[in-house]
Amino acid sequence: MKFLQMKALAFAALCCCAFCARPAMAQVFRPLGPEGGDVLSFGADPGNPRHVFLGTADGHIFASEDGGEHWELRGRAGARLDSIVTAILVDPRGGGIIYASTWTRDAAAGGGVFRSGDDGRTWVAAGLAGKAVRALAFAPPAPGAEQDATLVAGALDGVYRSRDAGATWEQISPVGDPELRNVDSAAVDPANADIIYAGTFHLPWKTTDGGLHWSSIHAGMIDDSDVMSLLADRAHAGRVYASACSGIYRSDNGGEIWQKVQGIPYTARRTVEILQDPARPEIVFAATTEGLWKTADAGSTWDRITPADWSVTAMVVAAGAPDRVLIGVEQRGVMASDDGGANFHDADSGFFHRQIFSAAADATGTRGILIALVNAPDFLLDSGDAGRTWQPLGQGPAQATLGGIYASPDGWLAAVADGGLERYDAAKSAWVRIGRVSDLPPAKSAGRPEATVLRGAPVNFGAVVSGMAFARDKWYAATLDGLLESADRGANWNPVRIGALGKLPVESVWASSDGGELWVASLISIAHSVDGGANWEWIGVPPGLGVIERLEVAGGDSGGSSDSAAILMVQTYAGLFISRDAGKTWDETGHGLPEAPIQDVAASGPNFLAAMRFGGLYLSRDYGRSWRPVNGNAAEGFFSALLPAPNSTAMPGTAAAGAPAIFYAASATEGLYAIEIVPEPDLATNGDTRH
């Protein structure tokens, strides 16, 4: 199985049914979990504190109507799938107006400010397109004035302001200034919109005249401090808090002099956010990489109120109740407290944002689903009830060394990235190494019986596995050292010659249920056997096919019959190539499917589902002849793996005809989905249309 490693990702209820379905395509997305994920930002509605929003590292906005106890996916701020939502602001005047700032991983090309007028369901650009906007703040309106929202934004090239709700922007910091740039945080004096603070990668700045003049304000602050958060006190004029990589600071004179806040250990001083209790201004919270800290005396003394190993990424104070605190915790998701932080509980219901980079499903349905996660406290999770519940699956291979996971008839297998196989031993609740490999059998030659050739002792299985297939009596492993087979459930492996070639690197292998028919793909070639690998036929491939990444076989499981109606799907960097006559003729990328790299493809009867390497899903209902994009918030993301659900065939002429086809889609950002493809009447009742 090929998969997309999304380890570079930065730190609802999705409706239980078709929140993103369209009648013409009739797809139903059901989130299967696991719940939780990384939170990048929160935003609260000043007019309704129970109304809270959450931003992620792929531009998605989740919303809660009950103070963060339950969540649903609302929409995406912008079209980019790698947009990091840095701030969410809710217009205090109501009307469902929300603003979000973003930056993308190629910070020089992506980001901006986005606006929603329907509580986050749909979003439009609201200026600063292409700029990495890392900070966003409201400026207070003039007393008694009826005016559009005034916004202040911090970007890599300076500070910007909009007086018309994002319709137009002006840069209010000196253009090209070598110091007042790389803005990481911003705050506006709650009583005077002309007083603006900007924290940069190198110390803070201030203007008292709306940006006409700026001054560096760092007296008392350690030089080279990256100012990550700024807070202008609502109750005490001139009091400002700043968090930097060197610690937390407070100024009581508008930033002229800073004093370092004591009481928080040096190791916990990477503080990503400072927030003040809206009703009790002496209570301030600091979200650090070593827990959440709280002061009840404006910073004179501090207490850590969470475990030290919680890295807090965002927070909301007074979310619907005076003592309700929400925090985002790296790897853990959303945590909530109803007693001011004395105790916390999970609040991930409906927040599905786990990052899956490999997945496997047992074709018989007996062992369920196994997923491998990135940036989660439990790396390998197993579900035996179709995703309703998930359990950690023992101490396995390290996340960094996992190559792929597979469902064998004897349980779960894991391929190690640098070579070898491990099997999950349920009795021991642990993963154990398996496999011994014999020497390569020599080619047959007249006058020299194979039995007389001396062989060395078997060695531990150390080949790098790129794919596996399981027949009734034999298992097969595609490796860089060639095709291997095992007749004793993985204990011992023997090389399989493919024609005259003994060590042909094999990228992919497929086997019929009885092992009589085999398909293998090497880098630029495909071979087929109908007698269990005793003899092979090389299959002609199109000149433009290029390097093969994976071969998938759909259609009849003939058990060795030479007239098998096999459909071959070959993934390459150039796109998807399909043969509906066992390799005699080929179609390059069916109508409607982009000529672009495919991450994964899966088949269930006439329904083919393809995940694009750079994001998005495409569906074909006619064996890959024509394709249409699958629309909706869930379908637009990255998918590391696609799998047909067990016993989901929906083949015309079978008992399953007319029933929905179900696929498992492993998202690289939002956990596992079950995608139900409702049959169209013409394909459910007519004959086989694969040819």
**pLDDT tens digits, 397-436:** 766 678 899 999 989 999 998 899 999 998 888 899 999 9
Mean pLDDT value across residues 307-333: 92
pLDDT tens string 37-72: 999 999 999 989 899 999 999 899 999 999 999 999
What was the pLDDT predicted at 487? 95
Mean pLDDT value across residues 9-28: 41
Cα 474 to Cα 453: distance, rounded to the nearest angstrom: 25
pLDDT bracket for residue 686 (50, 70, 90):
very low
What tokens appear for 374 in the block? 């990135």
* Best CA proximity match to 633, nearest among 246, 17, 44, 60: 60
18 neighbors 291 (Cβ within 8 angstroms)? no
- For residue 307, cis peptide bond before it (omega within 30 degrees of 0): no
pLDDT bracket for residue 448 (50, 70, 90):
very low
Mean pLDDT value across residues 273-279: 91
Instruction: Indicate if the pLDDT at residue 572 is higher than 60.
Output: yes
What was the pLDDT predicted at 685? 39
Instruction: Indicate if the pLDDT at residue 356 is higher than 50.
Output: yes
pTM over 0.85: no
**Three-state SS sequence of 577-624:** EEECCCCCCCEECCECCCCCCEEEEEEECCEEEEEECCCCEEEECCCC
What was the pLDDT predicted at 21? 35
What was the pLDDT predicted at 447? 42
pLDDT bracket for residue 325 (50, 70, 90):
very high
Query: Buried b / exposed e across 664-677, counting CB within 10 Å, b at 16+?
Result: bbbbbbbbbbbbbb
Q: Pick the residue with more confidence: 255 or 2? A: 255
What tokens appear for 293 in the block? 């800290």
pLDDT tens string 183-195: 999 999 999 999 9
Q: Pick the residue with more confidence: 419 or 651? A: 419
pLDDT tens string 555-570: 654 333 334 468 999 9
pLDDT tens string 495-506: 999 977 667 899
Phi, psi at 267, each rounded to 5°? -65, -20
Cα 330 to Cα 347: distance, rounded to the nearest angstrom: 14
What was the pLDDT predicted at 245? 80
Domains of the chain (ranges, CATH numbers)? 355-685 (2.130.10.10)
What was the pLDDT predicted at 5? 34
What was the pLDDT predicted at 655? 34
Torsional sign, CA 621, 624, 628, 629: positive
Q: Pick the residue with more confidence: 24 or 228? A: 228
Cα 224 to Cα 157: distance, rounded to the nearest angstrom: 18
The share of the chain scoring above pLDDT 90, in percent, equals 58
Mean pLDDT of the residues in the chain: 84
Query: 3-state class of 636 per DSSP?
Result: helix
Instruction: Indicate if the pLDDT at residue 583 is higher than 50.
Output: yes
Mean pLDDT value across residues 628-656: 72
Mean pLDDT value across residues 210-228: 89
Instruction: Indicate if the pLDDT at residue 225 is higher than 50.
Output: yes
What was the pLDDT predicted at 440? 53
Cα 286 to Cα 281: distance, rounded to the nearest angstrom: 14
356 neighbors 405 (Cβ within 8 angstroms)? no
* Best CA proximity match to 494, nearest among 530, 459, 443: 459
149 neighbors 138 (Cβ within 8 angstroms)? yes
Cα 529 to Cα 539: distance, rounded to the nearest angstrom: 10
pLDDT bracket for residue 246 (50, 70, 90):
confident
Q: Pick the residue with more confidence: 651 or 33? A: 33
Instruction: Indicate if the pLDDT at residue 457 is higher than 70.
Output: no
**Three-state SS sequence of 328-377:** EECCCEEEEECCCCCCCEECCECCEECEEEEEEECCCCCCCEEEEEECCC
Beta strands at 36-37 and 352-353: parallel, antiparallel or unpaired: parallel
What was the pLDDT predicted at 295? 93
- HSE-up (13 A, CA, CB side) for residue 33: 20
What was the pLDDT predicted at 365? 67
Q: CB under 8 Å, gap of 24 or more: what pairs does 678-685 form?
A: 678/26, 678/27, 678/28, 679/650, 680/26, 680/621, 683/606, 683/621, 683/622, 683/652, 684/652, 684/657, 684/658, 685/658
What residues contact 54, with CB distance under 8 A and at least 6 apart? 39, 41, 42, 43, 61, 62, 63, 64, 68, 71, 88, 328, 334, 351
pLDDT tens string 132-171: 999 999 998 766 556 778 999 999 999 999 999 999 999 9
589 neighbors 577 (Cβ within 8 angstroms)? yes
